Amino acid sequence: MTSWANPGARDLHLDLRDVVRPGARGVRELLVDALREAVRSGRLTAGTMLPPSRTLAADLGIARNTVAEAYADLVAEGWLASRQGAGTWVLNTGARTDPPRPRGVRTTARHNLMPGSPDVSEFPRAAWLASARRALTDAPNDALWMGDPRGRPELREALAGYLGRVRGVRTSPETVVICAGVRHAIELLTRVLGPAHPIAVEAYGLFLFRDAISALGSSTVPIGLDDDGAVVADLDRYDASAVLLTPAHHNPHGMPLHPARRTAAVEWAARRGAYVLEDDYDGEFRYDRQPVGAMQPLAPDRVVYLGSASKSLAPALRLGWMALPDDLVEPVVAAAGGNQFFVDSLAQLTMADFVTSGRYDRHIRRMRMRYRRRRDRLVEALAPLGVGVRGLSAGLNLLLTLPDGAEREVLQRAGGAGIALTGLSVMRHPAAGPDVADPDGVIVGFGAPAEHAFAGAVDALCGVLEATLR
């Protein structure tokens, strides 16, 4: 009797139904064709280990020699490789080097100057792996269950200490909730706040957050912006349940929120029973100024602190956090479904070790110096072109202000040159009034290119600007 339980074996799906039909081609020929097609199509990628011939023969109900001969044929053709004791694996896919893209998805640009994007080639792989090993070795068995809906206690404790030490946040592990990034946090908070009252946002800000709020049936209203940051006095125009601010480093203009306006915002929240949602945008990366602390310590019962590892480490981690007022913890957990579905426990344990071991601090300091050198190189290259430059003191972006009508042309030329940029206009709230300045501009991220590619990206950008502005 054939056993379908082969300990240690690799599964491989191949459809050989043709062999049961009278007059069908030989089993070996069909198997070779099926394997070749699986490799050619990319379903079996280069380096994929194939099952031992005995295992695949048992799974398919055919002779072991037939599988061995089919493997040998494909090794001879260069599709597979085999070595005694090492097994058989895919050598050459014969497929396209890039996977098919869904319609409507932009092709990856040669020069990625999109804002808010870190250099993922500098992800600290060895240090992260060391933390992952230690975290997994020390992990209790219950870490492999869903666990506390707020997130792993080890990470919440590590973040409470880190945020207090580095950003001045006043919180405890009990009021920290782990989420899958700042956008996810805003979605959860929008569910808690409900659609009855709008959420106020800065007149210029990340459109993804506005879209997330709108997708949940709530609305946003804009407050003004000037050289001191968000005009929080505008909040009195609305019956808003919360205001979303970037007080450490405005996105995209780059200024910090004036201390008097910080105080005014928390006073408004206390007076109205509302909340301030503090997106600590680029709080880790500052260059020419003393660090601007978090706003949350002014009123921990009214301010929700939001942060993530997306720019400090990598977006793919999908790892974020909220430091919540006491009265929001249970509603936010309930809005998340009552379980920690969104960030796996092992990633949380790894991040906890990464923070407590000091590796996170070392990585931030190293990248801060690297990004500062890139910013200086970019500013130096832009100087002869006569464009306005804002947002110099912190973050991973610069805002380039342009003559009227130049934004569209710069974006078009950039697209043709393989440069990914963001136009300032998409950051403007659709309901922002004439009292809010409406300049042309582009937002240039200097974080994403790998170190060896940065000079080429800067030269390409300057070429586009020079061709537009000459």
Across the chain, what does the average pLDDT equal? 89
Query: Where residue 299 falls among pLDDT bands split at 50, 70, 90?
Result: very high
The number of C-alpha atoms within 13 Å of 160 and in the hemisphere containing its C-beta is: 17
Which pLDDT value is given to residue 17? Answer: 59
Mean pLDDT along residues 25-37: 85
Which pLDDT value is given to residue 435? Answer: 84
CA-wise closest residue to 71 among 87, 85, 95: 87
Strand order in the sheet with 388-390: 388-390, 397-402, 440-445, 422-423
Tell me if 17-90 shares its fold with 124-359: no
Task: Please say if the pLDDT value at position 93 is more than 70.
Answer: no
- Residue with more model confidence, 233 or 109: 233
Task: Please say if the pLDDT value at position 89 is more than 70.
Answer: yes
**Quick check: helix, strand or coil at residue 80?**
strand
Task: Please say if the pLDDT value at position 175 is more than 70.
Answer: yes
Instruction: Give the CATH number of domain 111-119+361-469; options: 3.90.1150.10, 3.30.160.100, 3.30.70.100, 1.20.1070.10.
Output: 3.90.1150.10
Q: Are 32 and 75 in contact (CB under 8 A)?
A: no
Query: Where residue 25 falls among pLDDT bands split at 50, 70, 90?
Result: low
Q: Are 48 and 89 in contact (CB under 8 A)?
A: yes
Work out the percent of the chain whose per-residue pLDDT is above 70.
Answer: 92
Which pLDDT value is given to residue 81? Answer: 84
Q: What is the dihedral of CA 310, 314, 318, 320, to 10 degrees?
A: -40
Report if pTM > 0.85: no
Quick one: fold of 124-359?
Aspartate Aminotransferase; domain 2 (3.40.640)
Which pLDDT value is given to residue 273? Answer: 97
Task: Please say if the pLDDT value at position 19 is more than 80.
Answer: no
d(CA 288, CA 119): 21
Query: Where residue 339 falls among pLDDT bands split at 50, 70, 90?
Result: confident
**Residue range 17-90 in CATH 1.10.3470.10:** no
Mean pLDDT along residues 279-283: 85
Mean pLDDT along residues 207-235: 95
| Selection from 267-271, 280-284, 413-417, 421-425 with the highest mean pLDDT | 267-271
Mean pLDDT along residues 313-320: 94
Q: pLDDT of 133-157, one tens digit each?
A: 999 999 989 888 878 999 999 999 9
Distances (CA, A) of 458 to 111, 271, 394, 413, 463: 9, 48, 19, 14, 9
Q: Where are the beta strands (DSSP E) in 215-302?
A: 220-223, 225-226, 229-230, 242-245, 275-279
How do the domains of the chain map onto residue ranges?
17-90, 111-119+361-469, 124-359
Q: pLDDT of 63-83, one tens digit each?
A: 998 998 898 888 877 788 887
Task: Please say if the pLDDT value at position 102 is more than 50.
Answer: no
Which of 32-46, 91-105, 238-252 shows the lowest mean pLDDT across its residues?
91-105
Which pLDDT value is given to residue 458? Answer: 96
- Residue with more model confidence, 212 or 38: 212
Q: Where are the beta strands (DSSP E) in 270-373?
A: 275-279, 303-308, 320-323
Mean pLDDT along residues 335-340: 87
